Structure 1
Amino acid sequence: MTWQEMVPLLGQATWETVLMVVWSTLFTVLFGLPLGVALVGTSRDGLFPSRAANQLLSLIVNIGRSLPFIILMIAVIPFTRLLVGTTIGLYAAIVPLTIGAVPFFARLVEIALRGVSPDVVQAAHAMGVSRLSIVTKVLLPEARAALVAGVTVTVITLVSYSAMAGVIGAGGLGDLAIRYGYQRFETPLMIATCVVIIILVQLAQTLGDAFADRLAKR
């Protein structure tokens, strides 16, 4: 295969990977952020302490984080088919990508929020600020730099997950590497897909670090 033939394939696969990662990241933040807040809020020293709720949430998160992604993709095939009507392709891949990343991101949110000084929370509580307002106006703003760093790590993880999703025909760079690089023994294309994935990871890390540093200085 010549470079003239590879470039369009790489371009299409890269665009599919970017779409998978962007949509999965949005859904992961949408569901993972409140889950992380709930983990902190229901802890013993949290704003809404509840041992039973905290243990249940921790169990759910731990189970989600324990499953290897390749197994998770297969396990949620019926749910994926129910949700999007198919088990292959770009949109089908978003479902297991999101399910796999939400528990991971929730723990990062928990770590970020626990890094906020308790004195700040106690001061807000002493001024009569409601517990919900403490979450939205104190905890989350104070932890914003750490939360951005958590999103960055999650994006990089999703890039890796999206490559594995190629096993089930999800499209993207992983699918291209398997169908052409591995099955057709196109070694140069396999190397090219690896290079593109590395570039995507480096780009995400650089942008995420820059944004987090800017927020930290404010």
Structure 2
Amino acid sequence: MKLTSIEGQSVPQTVFRTRANHQWRDVSSDELFKGKTVVVFSLPGAYTPTCSSSHLPRYNELAPTFRANGVDDILCISVNDAFVMDAWAKELAVENIHLIPDGNAEFTNGMGMLVDKSDLGFGKRSWRYSMLVKNGVIEKMFIEPDKPGDPFEVSDADTMLHYINPEARDPEFVTVFTREGCPHCARAKALLKAHDMTFEEIKTGMGTGVSSRTIRAVSGHSTVPQVFIGGKHIGGADDLEKYFGEMP
């Protein structure tokens, strides 16, 4: 299997069959790449273990940092149909990147990255790789080594971000435990938004599957909100206000 970098060349011109608002929508290569700086990562298939646990989630996490470093869009391209890609995006709660179905493998074949995975019952799929594309021209490619199995060594989000800016810093991930109708929770969320901090909200209470015992287990408290920033427990809304007041 020969996998060759095509840095310096234009991306393949093709039309992707996507879905929007329950309708078919054709999207061209020009629409995705022309006049933009775009990061692409491609993988063997939706719902597969490495793709779901590591490859896609990390790009989604680092998307704000990529954008702060001049990237206009991040695309995940896979030889899957639009229904599968849309369902996968919903299951993983993907908010910051676009999942593009290459159902007929035209783009992947044009990239020279179409490989035979019949031994897994997959048929023809994409080899795992990532690339930085500027105005439709491929500046840099990270292609996984030709090894048995599904190597995942160089196409990850951190490698790409380090290429774009070796000094780029990881964002501080923020999680907030809340409960419906809680005014202090609303205040905590407003404080985070005022400081331009993106956060994950975990709702607690009846029907959520997250109880006060869960909150106590992770934070030592049973009240809400409970805020965590960069893995550090901050506390409630008053604690968060004090935290921001002490920031340099």
Whether these two folds match at TM > 0.5 is: no
TM-score when normalising by structure 2: 0.26
**Larger relative CO (CA 8 A, sep 6+): 1 or 2?**
1
Between structures 1 and 2, the one with greater strand share: 2
TM-score when normalising by structure 1: 0.29
